[in-house]
Amino acid sequence: MTDLPAVQPGQKKLGLVIDLDLCVGCHGCATACKEWNTGGHMAPLTDFNAYGDGAWGVWFNRIHSFEEGDGADARTVHFPKSCLHCEEPACVSVCPTGASYKRAEDGIVLVNESLCIGCKLCSWACPYGAREFDADAGVMKKCTLCIDRIYNENLAPEDRQPACVIVCPTKARFFGDLGDPNSAVSELVAARGGKDLMPELGYRPTNKYLPPRRAKPVAVPVLAPAAACATGGADDGGNALLRWVDRLLSR
């Protein structure tokens, strides 16, 4: 049934914490996700016109880039986004077949592909764009939180993490139990003021985003205007030499 599992106190809620202060927008997590998952639980992640115009396909993770603020305080924020494994996932409750479900044991939202009729209603119900229709298979696919890695006893314990977390070169992604207030990820969220995306909709996402830190104001040394140096008359020999070389080369 697409009814949501009853929430118990201290329920395990596996999810990701993404540090927007550290992400450099390298798209490594998206690539690692595609690489692992195209052979994983929801395989394949079909591509169309992969090598030509109009290339498109199934991705579970995408990196958006935003600008925040104006002037000297402004900054570029790279923003990876995958399924947030919400506590109130409307994508699950709208599913007419029961293909979409939220696991009671760890909160992961999954699709049973053999039940999916491809009506796409779940993709309409998700404000975050986490659902990906595979037009070739005719079914909906989505991020599995690498369920085939995190519980995989064939992998070394340190590798039992989502592919996107392992690959991140700046260690901007963290995986853990957000239902446990004492877990490393929960403490990180508390310390950095981790944010929910679109909290106004009430989906209560599990994944949290750590906003970029505010830099301490630094006294910036005021430099002499470059033009004054270039046109200065009584300069040192170095500049005179450069001007002579410039004139010579400009002939």
Q: Tell me: does residue 65 bind other proteins (CB under 8 A).
A: yes
DSSP 47: E
Which residues between 107 and 126 bind other proteins (CB under 8 A)?
115-121, 123-126
Which residues between 167 and 226 bind other proteins (CB under 8 A)?
195-203, 209, 211-212, 214
CB of 95 to other proteins, least distance (A): 6
Report the candidate in 40, 41, 24 with the shortest Cα–Cα distance to residue 168: 24
Side-chain-facing half-sphere of 208: CA atoms under 13 Å: 22
Report the candidate in 146, 132, 169, 147 with the shortest Cα–Cα distance to residue 27: 169
Cβ 90 vs Cβ 203: under 8 Å: yes
The torsion angles phi and psi of 80, rounded to 5 degrees, stand at -75, 140
| Candidate list 21, 38, 79, 166; residue touching other proteins; CB under 8 A | 79
Q: Tell me: does residue 93 bind other proteins (CB under 8 A).
A: yes
| Candidate list 129, 169, 181, 232; residue touching other proteins; CB under 8 A | 129
Of 94-102, 153-161, 176-184, 239-247, the segment contacting other proteins by CB under 8 A is 94-102
CA 38 to chain CA mean position, Å = 18
Q: Tell me: does residue 232 bind other proteins (CB under 8 A).
A: no
Alpha carbon distance 217, 240 (integer Å): 38
Which residues between 8 and 47 bind other proteins (CB under 8 A)?
20, 30
Indicate the residue among 66 and 244 with the shorter CB distance to other proteins.
66
CB of 46 to other proteins, least distance (A): 10
